[in-house]
Amino acid sequence: MSDSTGLLRNSFDSDAARMRCKQYRRRILDISQNVTALHVAPAFSCVEITDYLYNTLMRRDADGKFEDVFIMSKGHGCMIQYVILEENGYITSEDIDAYCTPGGILGAHPDYETPGIHASTGSLGHGLGIATGQAYGEKLKGTDIGIYCVLSDGECQEGSTWEAIMMAGNLKLDNLVAFLDNNDFSGLERMSEGHQAFYPLVEKAEAFGWEAVEIDGHDEEAMQAAFDGRKGGKPFMVICKTVKGKGVSYMEHVPIWHYRSPNKEEYQQALDEILGADR
């Protein structure tokens, strides 16, 4: 399957996607019990986005390795990326166990050349610039490799992100796709309360030469429809309305869960809610 840009896609099964996302969230919750601080909520807001990227958009070679490229520009969301890379054999459960400990290879932000990691991020406003260079590089090489990037809404306050948006638009990089994880939370306050001029987003992206759509970022069928409807010829921005901490009632929209790990009771409640959802 492919959209009008020629970027191929894998087959899509919404029930399978929902099951995967439950298991990813469960795995992240499990990991959270071994470390005092884990970016659970920022990862939960982009579980469906990252699942759709890896399991539907990104193609694999004969060995099952991803051919297309993914950059988690909101580096603090990387736990979902680690879990998917673990599932695909890029990193091991021992690597996950050694998260943020001496001798381990995984930190709280993705590190370039860790297996499956295509850019060091963590400082916001870097990922899309790198992705733009990668997309242009692949154009120069004449390949059909797609470059995928997940941005936070907060990092779209960085001027560097807009330099990248403008340049990718200038270069008409139709092999570049950005998902904006629009969870409405920056460090200090809700974006929608403190930064009203940040909106509207679709119009801004379009004005900068991108094709853009706005969807529910926890609905992979909506993502599928967005890609089905893609016109092509331009970089594509999928602005995803998301919920920080999605799936766990006490985490949703509560800033402390940006960085806190749940205690034992909270863990059990979270697990019940995640696994019990949509039954």
Footprint on this chain of other proteins (rule: CB under 8 A): 112-113, 118-120, 123, 125-126, 128-141, 159-160, 163-164, 166-167, 171
Q: Closest distance between other proteins and the C-beta of residue 175, in Å?
A: 11
Give the orientation angle of helix 14-32 with respect to helix 264-276, to 10 degrees. 180
163 vs 266, which CB is nearer to other proteins? 163
Q: DSSP states of 100-158 as a string? A: TSTT-S--SS--TTSTT--S---STT-HHHHHHHHHHHHHHHT----EEEEEESGGGGS
| β-bridge mates for residue 260, sequence order | 37
Contact between residue 175 and residue 147 where contact means Cβ atoms under 8 Å apart: yes
Q: Closest distance between other proteins and the C-beta of residue 253, in Å?
A: 30
53 vs 119, which CB is nearer to other proteins? 119
CA distances from 230 to 9, 85, 219 (A): 13, 28, 17
146 vs 245, which CB is nearer to other proteins? 146
Q: Closest distance between other proteins and the C-beta of residue 204, in Å?
A: 17
Q: Closest distance between other proteins and the C-beta of residue 202, in Å?
A: 22
SS3 at position 73: coil
21 vs 71, which CB is nearer to other proteins? 71
Q: Closest distance between other proteins and the C-beta of residue 232, in Å?
A: 20
Contact between residue 124 and residue 154 where contact means Cβ atoms under 8 Å apart: yes
> Which of 159, 88, 141 lies closest to 117, judged by CA?
88
